[in-house]
Amino acid sequence: MTRIQSAGTLEDLESVRVETLGRKGTLTLVGKEMGKLAPEERGRVGKLLNGARQKLEEALEAGKKAFDETELRARLDSEWIDVTLPAPGARRGHLHPITRIQRELEDLFASLGFAVLDGPEVETEYYNFDALNIPPEHPARDMQDTFWLDGGNLLRTHTSPVQVRGMERLGPPLRMIAPGRVFRNESVDASHEHTFYQLEGMMVDRDVSVAHLIYFMQTLLGAIFHRDVTVRLRPGYFPFVEPGFELDIQCLICGGPGCPVCKQSGWVELLPCGLVNPRVLRMSGIDPEQWNGFAFGLGLTRLAMMRYGIDDIRQLQGGDLRFLEQF
C-alpha cells in the first residue's frame, strides 16, 4: 500500500500490480496454494485473500485516477487558447489591373459626358461585321481571326459592334464608351492572347473633326499615364472609319530600342481611331448629311501592360496569385 501511495509514475503502479495480482504475483501464488489447506481453513483464508485483492485493486484504481487527473490538469494548463486575442486578418483580394484601368477610364469618360455601354460577348455577324461596313467577302474579315459558333453567331472580335448598338439605342448626338472582352482565334505568345480587353469610344455630333478626335485622345493618354508619352499618328485602314488612323505610343517597356512587347519596333499600336464612315452612320439610321463623328478602339490589355511594365500578356489571364498580388 505504501508503494502505491508513493508511486511516482504510472509504470510504478503497474509494477506493483504485476508483483501482487499478476500471473506470478504474490497473491496469485498464495491463492494457488489454497488446495493444500485443510478444508475448514479454506473458507477463512479465501475470504482474507479476496479482501486483500479487492483492497489492492481499489488502491491501484485510485492511484491511476490521480495520475490521470494530474495529467489532465497539466494539459489544460499548457494547451489553453486565449479567445480574447484578435483573430489573424482575413486575406483580402483586390481588383485586377485591367479592371482598375477600365474603371479609371469609365470615370474619366463619364466626366466628359460619355455613357458607359455594355454589349454581348456572343455577337451576330451583322453587328460584328456587316453594320461596320465589313460585308461577307470583304478582305477585312480576314484581319481578325474569328471564333465562329454554331448557328452563325460568333465571339465578338472587337468592341466596335457596341458602337452600332449604341447608335441604334441612343441616336444622335451621342457620346459613348464600351469596355469589354474580345476574342480572336490566334496562337498565343508574349504579345497575343485569344482573349483580351478593349475599350471602344464614339462621339456623334454636328461638325466633329479630327481636331476633336486628337483632343480627346490626348486627354485620355495624359490621364492614363500621368506623364508625357511620345505618340505618332499614322494612316490606318478600318472599314468603319474614313479617314482612319493608328495612334502609336513609344514602347514604355523598353523605351524605344525594341522588346518582345513592341515586336522589336519601339512602338506599340494602342489606339486605332478615325472619323466614322458615313455608310456606318446610315446603316444605323443616322443621316450623315447632318451628323458625323469619331470612334476609337483602345487596347485595354496593351495599356495595362504598358502602364505596369508587364512584358508577357499571358500573365494577365494566368490567374497566378504571385503575379496578381504585385498590383
- For ligand DAH, the binding residues (CB under 6 A) are 158, 160, 200, 238, 241, 244, 272-274, 295-297
295 or 316: whose CB is closer to ligand DAH? 295
89 or 235: whose CB is closer to ligand DAH? 235
Rounded to 5°, the CA angle 273-276-277 comes to 120
Give me the least distance between CB of 255 and ligand DAH, in Å please: 26
Give me the least distance between CB of 86 and ligand DAH, in Å please: 51
13 or 105: whose CB is closer to ligand DAH? 105
CA distance 240 to 132: 5
CA-based nearest residue to 180, from 136, 123, 226, 133: 123
Give me the least distance between CB of 272 and ligand DAH, in Å please: 3
Residue 171: left if φ>0, alpha if ψ -120 to 50, beta else—which one? left
202 or 261: whose CB is closer to ligand DAH? 202
Give me the least distance between CB of 294 and ligand DAH, in Å please: 7
**Number of residue whose CB is nearest ligand DAH:** 297
Name residue, grid cell 477463512. 44
20 or 144: whose CB is closer to ligand DAH? 144
Give me the least distance between CB of 284 and ligand DAH, in Å please: 14
Give me the least distance between CB of 326 and ligand DAH, in Å please: 28
Strand arrangement, sheet containing 174-183:
115-116, 174-183, 195-205, 292-299, 267-276, 241-250, 231-235
SS3 163: helix
97 or 201: whose CB is closer to ligand DAH? 201
**161 contacts 146 by C-beta, under 8 angstroms:** no
Give me the least distance between CB of 107 and ligand DAH, in Å please: 21
CA-based nearest residue to 169, from 284, 283, 276: 284
70 or 219: whose CB is closer to ligand DAH? 219
Q: Which H helix or E strand runs over 233?
A: strand 231-235
CA-based nearest residue to 99, from 226, 193, 197, 217: 197
φ, ψ dihedrals at 309, nearest 5°: 65, 40
Q: What does the DSSP 8-state code read for residue 276?
A: E
